Amino acid sequence: MDRVIGIDLGTTNSCVAVMEGDTPVVIPNRGGYKTTPSIVAVTEAGKRLVGHIAKRQAITNAENTVYAAKRLIGRKWNSPQVKNALLTSSYTIVEGPHADVRIKLRDKTYSVPEVSSMVLQEMKIIAEDYLGESVEKAVVTVPAYFNDNQRQATKDSGLIAGLDVIRIINEPTAASLAYGFGKGLDKTVAVYDLGGGTFDISILEIGAHGVFKVISTTGDTFLGGEDFDARVIDWIVQGFTEEHEVDLRQDRMALQRLRDAAEKAKCELSSVRETEINLPFIISAGRNEALHLQRSLSRETLETLTEDLVERTVDICRQALADAKLDVDEIDDVILVGGMTRMPAIQKSVAEFFERDPNKGVHPDEVVALGAAIQGAALVDERHEMILLDVTPHALGIMTFGSLFEELIPQNTTVPTSRRKIFTTSRDNQTAVKILVMQGESKQADENELLGEFILTGLRRAPRGEVEIEVSFDINTDGIVSVHAKDLETGQNQSIQVTATSGLTQDEISTMIEGAKDYMVERRSDEEFEGVRQEAETHIIEIERLFPEVERVVGGADFGRDAISKARNVLDRARKAIAAKDKQAVKDHLEQLARTERMFKGVVARSE
């Protein structure tokens, strides 16, 4: 049976888990960390870096380091979110060929799914190293509030990374699975998820027979830890400008250092009441002079700076309860997910709103990946029995006369579902209608996301309002939407399957898949080289250490001189092979190096 890994592809950090027996476990990366920064960079030498190693070099390579790509995934170039990112990102964002978003790193331009695929590929490698086998299938989580294009873009990222994403599930649903799976609970729970870039709240019913039913879900895909960091950055920049009349934002390197320091201070203030922000030589001030930044930030100030952000999450919680038609006292438990929920002000506000202390039993950074692993196992192994009933996170409908949005399937409808509605023509003698399929909550159609369009032709010529057209929407369990339009009088009909788009064509995806495969081959080969290099270096160091002693003991004799010169030769050749990065040549020298080391050790042992 195929192993399925569960991946929480986070804005800031990602986490991978797998089911071992009946228990989901988080897989640590090589550094022993259970989460990996969702950061990708390209070095001057053109080398790709992902995770902690990319984060560590972010300050000195800010322009070529991508963080928070999830905020851009599946977005159109002209969306307000992209405009916002253009103002705040230290890397270069450009328009793609399909009105999508691309990121420029060094001399190459990458699509957002491609950047995310690099993070997914890293998670795949972490899992494969741990399991000792190749992994092809994954369940990947997304914020509940992601629209179809964002989901499709996430699926494409998996595809590029060499993963068959067998299901995309919502992060809060995954969290509730990890919380309630196999426990025979009968509860209504709220999952409050505040991560690096997004906020989600879902209300779920967990039934005794493994039924997980989402009742309502809502959120904001542009509200997260980074907004809290931005407030701290603004506060520092403003203070610095007042003091020195220098705008720190003008300097990319300074801004990146500031960003790191602001996030660090925010995290520290979850456990201490006051912290120092200390950035020496933050910016140059004329010739041979530099300005230093030193400020202390209190928890109280942080709370004041971010009060409205916390309040916004509480308003959204209120909305989720209203959508679920539940009162606060009908919620049995509150689960906190996402790194930001460690902030005391958030815990306090959530406790106040829900009138109970949040559950302490789940790990906010790991619970989503664990839930994804549970779902993955359940999809391929019927022993893990459960039923997941999710909802449509956004309303679906069509654009009607006057650019208004006419809803057919309301937000929070359990899927699968189907709905139909009768429409009429808006002009006399109209023989065709254009059906624009949209997703969103605004009454104004152009404020919603366009999913697809088609034209129903051959309508009977008649005064406006006379011809009746039935439009029906169907959503299956995978969330795929089909739309049909039918002229009720003539039976003439048209339909489309609304396939969301990540902004990439099939050809582009295929090329990217090949690119990812090449990377994998190169990376495995680099790793193999690193393995033999380390083995060779260990022998070389040991031989070098023994040299003086061997020379002292046998250097006077002919056979000794001969052996020493041979040993020097072996060392020279091995060193050259290492310098040339010639894996095979280094491998070929390993045996000789080992033999020389044994011989040297023998000589030294005999002399003692």
Residues assigned a catalytic role: 8, 70, 171, 193
Q: Are 30 and 123 in contact (CB under 8 A)?
A: no
Number of H-type helices and E-type strands within the chain: 13, 27
Q: Candidates 105-113, 265-273, 305-313, 508-516 — which segment interacts with ligand AMP by CB under 6 A?
A: 265-273
Q: Which is nearer to ligand AMP, 345 or 536 (CB)?
A: 345
- Quick one: which segment of 6-14, 150-158, 495-503, 506-514 binds ligand AMP (CB under 6 A)? 6-14
Among 7, 9, 10, 567, binds ligand AMP (CB under 6 A): 10
Question: Given the complex with ligand AMP, which of 74 and 196 has the nearer CB atom?
Answer: 196
- The tokens 């928890």 sit on which residue? 299
Torsion of the alpha carbons at 138, 144, 149 and 151, rounded to the nearest 10? 0
**What residues from 141 to 170 belong to the interface with ligand AMP (CB under 6 A)?**
none
Query: Which residue in the set 151, 266, 299, 583 belongs to the binding site for ligand AMP (CB under 6 A)?
Result: 266
Residue 167 CB, shortest distance to ligand AMP, in Å, is 21
Token pair for residue 106? 């060094």
Q: Does 270 bind ligand AMP (CB under 6 A)?
A: yes
Which position among 265, 340, 396, 532 is part of the footprint of ligand AMP (CB under 6 A)?
Answer: 340
Site string for ligand AMP, 369-408 (x = CB under 6 A): ----------------------------------------
Count residues near ligand AMP (CB under 6 A): 18
- Please, which residue, 109 or 270, has the CB nearer to ligand AMP? 270
305 exposure class (CB count in 10 Å sphere: 0-12, 13-18, 19+):
middle
**Shortest separation between residue 63's beta carbon and ligand AMP, angstroms:** 22
The nearer residue to ligand AMP, 104 or 342, going by C-beta atoms, is 342
- Residue 339 or residue 371: which is nearer to ligand AMP going by CB? 339
By CB under 6 A, which span of 10-18, 310-318, 544-552, 554-562 interacts with ligand AMP? 10-18
Nearer to ligand AMP, 270 or 301 (CB): 270
Shortest separation between residue 347's beta carbon and ligand AMP, angstroms: 10
In the list 6, 13, 115, 169, the residue contacting ligand AMP (rule: CB under 6 A) is 13
User: What is the β-pairing status of strands 449-456 and 433-439?
Assistant: antiparallel
Q: Minimum Å distance from CB 580 to ligand AMP?
A: 41
Sequence-distant (≥ 6) Cβ neighbours of residue 223 within 8 angstroms: 194, 198, 199, 309, 312, 313
Q: What is the DSSP string of 553-598?
A: HHTTSHHHHHHHHHHHHHHHHHHHHHHTT-HHHHHHHHHHHHHHHH
Q: Count other C-beta atoms under 10 Å from residue 556's C-beta.
A: 9
Candidates 126-134, 336-344, 413-421, 445-453 — which segment interacts with ligand AMP by CB under 6 A?
336-344
Other C-beta atoms closer than 10 Å to the C-beta of 239 total 13
Is there binding between residue 12 and ligand AMP (CB under 6 A)?
Answer: yes
Number of Cβ within 10 Å of residue 606's Cβ equals 9
Measured from the CB of residue 264, what is the shortest distance to ligand AMP in angstroms? 8
Do residues 141 and 170 touch, judged by C-beta distance below 8 A? yes
The nearer residue to ligand AMP, 343 or 546, going by C-beta atoms, is 343
Query: Which residue's C-beta sits nearest to ligand AMP?
Result: 225
CA dist 240 to 34, 226, 248, 249, 301, Å?
37, 20, 8, 11, 16
At what angle are helices 252-268 and 225-244 packed, to 10 degrees? 120
* Smallest gap from residue 194 Cβ to ligand AMP (A): 8
Please, which residue, 72 or 396, has the CB nearer to ligand AMP? Answer: 72
Q: What is the DSSP string of 512-561?
A: HHHHHHHHHHHHHHHHHHHHHHHHHHHHHHHHHHHHHHHHHHHTTSHHHH
Site string for ligand AMP, 215-254 (x = CB under 6 A): ----------xx----------------------------
Residue 51 binds ligand AMP (CB under 6 A)? no
Nearer to ligand AMP, 71 or 484 (CB): 71
Q: Which one of residues 74, 113, 180, 196 is an interface residue with ligand AMP (CB under 6 A)?
A: 196
d(CA 105, CA 114): 12
- What's the number of CA atoms in the CB half-sphere (13 Å) around residue 46? 5
CA distance 365 to 339: 6
Give whole-number Cα distances, 449 to 78, 79, 476, in Å.
12, 10, 20
Which tokens sit at 460? 């009977």
Verify binding: residue 210, ligand AMP, rule CB under 6 A.
no
- Judged by the rule CB under 6 A, the positions of this chain that interact with ligand AMP are 10-13, 195-196, 225-226, 263, 266-267, 270, 338-340, 342-343, 365
